[in-house]
Amino acid sequence: MEKVTAYCMKCRDKAGSIMENAKEVPFNRKGGTKGSAMTGTCSVCGTKMFKILGKKK
Ligand SMILES: [Zn+2]
């Protein structure tokens, strides 16, 4: 599976950390539009990560 990277609040690595067990979840954006997000855990410290994805193509 493709590696997903996200900014980790704990590691504070601007380059991003690899998200483990990443899965896509529905996400309600402001204004009522639906989008999607990824959730998973940081491969470095195990903190929960959340990444908002752009609109689906
Ligand atoms: Zn981390």
Using alpha carbons, select from 11, 25, 2 the residue that is nearest to residue 43. 11
Q: Where are the domains of the chain?
A: 4-52
E-assigned strand segments in the chain: 4-6, 17-28, 34-42, 48-52
Taking the centre of ligand 1 as the mean of its atom positions, its distance from the CA of residue 3, in whole angstroms, is: 15
Taking the centre of ligand 1 as the mean of its atom positions, its distance from the CA of residue 17, in whole angstroms, is: 6
How much is the pLDDT for 54? Answer: 75
- Is the pLDDT at 57 greater than 60? The verdict is no
Taking the centre of ligand 1 as the mean of its atom positions, its distance from the CA of residue 6, in whole angstroms, is: 9
In this prediction the pTM is: 0.76
User: How confident is the model over 17-54, as pLDDT tens digits?
Assistant: 999 999 999 999 889 999 999 999 999 999 999 999 87
